[in-house]
Amino acid sequence: MKAFDFFCGAGGMTRGLLDAGIAVVAGYDVDEECEHTYEHNNPGARFIAADIRKIGIEDFQGMGNLRKFDDVLFAGCAPCQPFSTQRKGSGRRHDATLLGEFGRLVEAALPGYVLIENVPGIAKVRGFSTFRRFLHMLSANGYRFIYGVLDAKHFGVPQNRRRLVLLATRHLQPTLPGSKYGTSLRPFKTVRQAIYHFPAIGAGECHPIIPNHVAADIAEINLKRLRQTPHNGGDRRSWPSHLRLECHKGNYKGHTDVYGRMYWKRPAPALTGRCHSISNGRYGHPEQDRAISLREAAAIQSFPDGYVFFGTNKHIAMQIGNAVPVRLAEHLGKHILHLEASRI
């Protein structure tokens, strides 16, 4: 089976599908800064910098010696910010239309399989939403589909990351894969298993050999706060009063994850594009006085240690935090191949 990966970013979905045995022909993304990362780590898959709103079927028809798409997978993981619970502000964002643009390409090509990964909130928008219009398009074109919320930790990713996954096909009634981890025989992967093997570095330091093992610099006041944060899951509630933020003084009890440390023996919290900053979530190293490094963040997203990211540290953090976890993508790819084999 071959695949096209739309909104591919740094290639988390592509890498997982390749590991599952699916040949990814190309990845499309408007962010051309992802190209080096994508092509360096996914040989054979071509990165195409393009706005999906300007792509037509003629742009990829014939690629990979394809004329028809009946046994091809279209994976579309549109930017999720318009539907995220962490989104700030209000008002319609143009990103909310990108799923509809992906649907336009699906309708034109009629691929054998369609895969979507997004935040659960995409299915909760009221009315005839972008998501419901997409479902209507699938039904009108003979697709049967299933969707539900899967947590990446159930598929070998050391992270609590709940995502809506939709799988559609014109060949049979699809199913979603069952959990692979979370039992007494196969417990969840933990932060310790993901990052303990990386050597210690300080805040603002970069390891001389290990790619992307670099930690963000920290202001002196925040370094003092982190030193007062207990190891292995501690948070700001342990700080002395003179280190507390003005917005956290008094009886305020919210946002305890901010400046907090991860737990060694648990999956990490969901990573974002600011996962290298202790002020943006529970992204403190369990023991060392720094945020997790970019390399450690990639490991928590289940990228292999040899997956090298290119760009500024800020952009690399976005590449990592916005990616589809590799192991989740791999299990989805294997499940699709199993469905395909069952109909032959």
- Which residues are catalytic, by number? 80
Per-position DSSP letters for 298-319, written without gaps between them: HHHTT--TT----S-HHHHHHH
Specify the pairing of strand 2-6 against strand 72-76: parallel
Strands 46-49 and 23-29: parallel
Say if strands 46-49 and 144-151 run parallel, antiparallel, or are unpaired.
Answer: unpaired
User: 163: Cβ–Cβ under 8 A, 6 or more apart, which residues?
Assistant: 117, 118, 119, 120, 149, 150, 151, 152, 328
Would you say 327 and 299 are in contact if contact means Cβ atoms under 8 Å apart? no
> Would you call 240 helix, strand, or coil by DSSP?
coil
Report CA torsion sign: 70, 73, 79, 81: positive
Question: What CA–CA distance (Å, rounded) separates 178 from 256?
Answer: 33
Q: DSSP H helical segments within 233-325, as ranges?
A: 294-300, 313-321
The phi, psi pair for 19, rounded to 5°, reads: -65, -25
Name residue, tokens 């699709």: 336
* Rg of the chain over all Cα atoms, to the nearest angstrom: 21
**At a CB cut-off of 8 Å and minimum separation 6, what does 293 contact?**
198, 201, 207, 212, 213, 214, 215, 276
**Six-digit token string for 263:** 């737990």
